[in-house]
Structure 1
Amino acid sequence: MTRYRTLIMSCLMAALMAAQAHSQDAGKPAKAEVDASKLKVSSLQVPAEGSSQELMDFIRTAQKVQPTTRKEYLELNRKVKAAADKVVAQEKDKTSQVYKDALQFSMHTGLTLMGEMKPAEATKAYQPYADYFNNLKQWTNSDLQLAMQVPQVCEQVDRQLAKKAYGEVARALLQSGHPQLVEIATMFKGSQQRLDLIGNVLDLKGTKYDGTAFDLASLRGKVVLVDFWATWCGPCIREHANIKKNYEKFHDKGFEVVGISIDEDREALDGFLKQHHIPWITVHEKGGRHPALQKYGIQGIPTMFLVDQEGKVISLEARGEMLTQLLEKTLGK
């Protein structure tokens, strides 16, 4: 089983550095290093009439800039994307490495910007990605990274757009016929199903830590937090403090927690539970392979569903202060 890890979105600099590795100009003398400490986002100007080489040089220079605010980070993305789009538009040889690198720059930076858009604008910005994936004949690692990120960014913006993205990217992955890509496509189909859970009954069964059978339906009448987590997941462990606080406050009012551990190492789970005295239900399958991971397309942890007394999902993001607010709303203060 591919180990599920805490989801960390790749930042702009990582994407730029990955593409840069393929875009060095062989045989040309090295240029003097730019003093990164003197570069500012506001001082960067995209060449108005630059050649493809000049535009790519601009992009490499932009890599050296360290944004100090979110506003600067987004502005840097806009400028890099503008330069990359110019290369894509003017490069006649669509098989050249320069064209391919520029296209990757454009798509990765565009994805960052899409995450800041309103649904209607993001829907329009998403379409080139769908077209790109549909026309792919051979998938690269960069393509796969992009395919993993696009629906996730859409999910941040609009649930309906995310459902569309998961479905369309899944179809493109299936067309490849590659076993690993087909596996990811299956997960994306599950993600579509997850996004439809709000207002619907959550079907969840498994094996409790003590080896007995578990069925979420047995907890009807209670408000239940379903927490997908692992002992090696830092954010999961930090969130446990918040879960405990709410468990102590609301348990007597009808609040229950079901922690679904995806730990592959049973001994690590044993040690953690004994050390931390977790009072709620823990579900664990051999190797951490709970069927819900694929069924609901869970790509990162912690993932937390909150289920009401009728067994219907009322939130897919019941974390932090939002968990307290939802419990106060359903169970009272």
Structure 2
Amino acid sequence: MTDHSSAPRSSHRFLAGLVSAALLAPVVSIPFLQSSVSRAQETPESRPTAAETDPDYAVPDGTPEEIMEFVEGLRTRKPKFGNQREALDHAVRTQRSFISAGDKILKQEIDPKTAAKAAQLKLGALTLLASNGIGDTATEAMVAVNQLKTDERPEVVKVANQFWTPIRINHLGALSDADRKRFAEEILKSVVDSKFARETIGMATQLGTKLASKGHAEEAGVLYDQLAKLASEAEDPKVQEAAKRFAGQGRRVRLPGQFMAIEGKQLNGEALDWSAYRGKVVLVDFWATWCGPCIAELPNVKANYEKFHDKGFEVVGISLDRSREPLDKFIENEEIPWSQLYDEEVQKDKGWNHPMAEYFGINAIPAAILVDKKGNVVSLNARGPELTKQLEKLLGE
């Protein structure tokens, strides 16, 4: 998934920093895992153990310097994969190796600075795996961070405290209704106390995402509403502008089961007639030609369009391109038959400025929203097999 970090410098790019800063700064990040690992689930029993499955991932015994040299080599390795499964296995095994490396270093007699780096390596990998739903790493991360918070070295405790909130967010499923409410209030208070620091706003938006993914859409919507109100009252104009997007995120997480209406100018200059799509199943696809994951998803959308179009399936693309020329060229080369919304007046050099992207709080693409024949949203993530599954359910195989 591509986020706002790809957008031009603007209030929307500022928002991207708010959303991502909380985890991307402290976490050991690998791009493939960020975009793809959430598609797979692994049980604790099935997760790879580096030392047992492949010597390439087995962390050697040695000094901290030797272990970190191995970590760096693994981090920069660029193997070729035969399929996505292999790439995913590599991503997970790599993070598992980082956890093992951190453990091995922490068990040695080392200086506080080295211990802090080892703690960051371990907690970063655990947080990344937990945030993508791999096995029971959310619980594993909670155990690890609680242990490190009691470490006798202040430098290690400082690192653990930095990971404390994101790890609790990943462990949200273990909280009661009352605890979730208190947690949200705590994070919103930190936003105000920090004077809208990127890290704290990033934590708040991440909590909203996690709440929605765990089936607490209304709680997520309330959180975004409160965040929007706080941001609108900030002194920083960029934070004030971001408030619009937060309010949009509140609308979007509440969409499932609700009517969705879109409007805008098509590439032919005519306004979209949304009422003409009533009685159809419609994929509202926020995308851009510069978005790699969007392009990777296109064959799947095309295949489903060919299979289900005659049964009543339509697609409406909403391009977040920065200029029209590459969009026109891409549509022609790919022979894309469905309607595209693009407003050159407001999107020139600021692709994220499309009114529908702002209204629905789109901060990462592709964002594929599926609407049924009555105009009600049935999925906020109609990509890959999920799109086919929903279409078979709504239109028949």
Structure-2 separation of matches of 1:194 and 1:298: 8
Which deviates further from its counterpart, 124-133 or 302-311? 124-133
Larger helix proportion of the pair: 2
Q: Pick from 132, 136, 140 the counterpart of residue 190 of structure 2.
A: 132
Alpha-carbon spacing, 1:169–1:198, altered in 2? closer, same or farther (3 Å): same
Structure-2 separation of matches of 1:292 and 1:218: 18
Q: CA deviation at 1:273?
A: 0.8
TM-score by length of 1: 0.76
Report the AA paired with residue 26 of structure 2: A
Please list the CA deviations of residues 115-148 of structure 1 after superposition, one character each: whole Å capped at 9, or x if unmatched.
x6477465564443233224x1523332333333
Structure-2 separation of matches of 1:169 and 1:84: 31
Report the AA paired with residue 62 of structure 1: A
Map 1:4-83 onto structure 2 (within 5 A): 14-15=25-26, 33=65, 35-36=67-68, 37=70, 40=100, 43=103, 58-65=115-122, 70-71=134-135, 74=138, 77-79=141-143, 81-83=145-147
Partner in structure 2 of residue 50 of structure 1? none
Partner in structure 2 of residue 256 of structure 1? 314
Q: Pick from 367, 375, 380 the counterpart of residue 303 of structure 1.
A: 367
Partner in structure 2 of residue 168 of structure 1? 226
Report the AA paired with residue 232 of structure 1: W
Counterpart check, 1:267 vs 2:325: yes
Root mean square deviation, CA, Å: 3.9
Please list the CA deviations of residues 158-193 of structure 1 after superposition, one character each: whole Å capped at 9, or x if unmatched.
212211221232233234232111222221111111
CA contact (8 A) 2:265 2:342 kept: yes
Partner in structure 2 of residue 94 of structure 1? none
Partner in structure 2 of residue 187 of structure 1? 245
Structure 2 residue runs without a partner (length 5+): 1-9, 30-62, 71-96
Alpha-carbon spacing, 1:138–1:118, altered in 2? closer, same or farther (3 Å): closer
Counterpart check, 1:223 vs 2:256: no
Report the AA paired with residue 299 of structure 1: N
Q: Pick from 309, 334, 343 the counterpart of residue 285 of structure 1.
A: 343
For the residue of structure 2 that corresponds to 1:305, the secondary structure is: strand
CA contact (8 A) 1:217 1:311 kept: no
Q: CA deviation at 1:11?
A: 9.1
Structure-1 separation of matches of 2:369 and 2:24: 33
Report the AA paired with residue 260 of structure 2: L
CA contact (8 A) 1:16 1:105 kept: no
CA contact (8 A) 1:230 1:236 kept: yes
Alpha-carbon spacing, 1:119–1:9, altered in 2? closer, same or farther (3 Å): farther
Partner in structure 2 of residue 21 of structure 1? none
Structure-1 separation of matches of 2:242 and 2:168: 23
Alpha-carbon spacing, 1:59–1:102, altered in 2? closer, same or farther (3 Å): same
Alpha-carbon spacing, 1:138–1:196, altered in 2? closer, same or farther (3 Å): closer
Partner in structure 2 of residue 153 of structure 1? 210
Report the AA paired with residue 40 of structure 1: S
Alpha-carbon spacing, 1:279–1:300, altered in 2? closer, same or farther (3 Å): same
Q: CA deviation at 1:281?
A: 1.1
Which deviates further from its counterpart, 8-17 or 159-168? 8-17
Q: How many residues are treated as equivalent by the alignment?
A: 306
Structure 1 residue runs without a partner (length 5+): 19-30, 48-52, 92-96
Counterpart check, 1:245 vs 2:256: no
Identity of aligned residues (%): 32
Structure-2 separation of matches of 1:326 and 1:119: 31
Alpha-carbon spacing, 1:261–1:300, altered in 2? closer, same or farther (3 Å): same
Please list the CA deviations of residues 39-63 of structure 1 after superposition, one character each: whole Å capped at 9, or x if unmatched.
727947999xxxxx96x86443223
Structure-2 separation of matches of 1:172 and 1:147: 12
CA contact (8 A) 2:282 2:371 kept: yes
Alpha-carbon spacing, 1:16–1:302, altered in 2? closer, same or farther (3 Å): closer
Report the AA paired with residue 141 of structure 2: N
TM-score by length of 2: 0.65
Structure-2 separation of matches of 1:77 and 1:33: 25
For the residue of structure 1 that corresponds to 2:196, the secondary structure is: coil
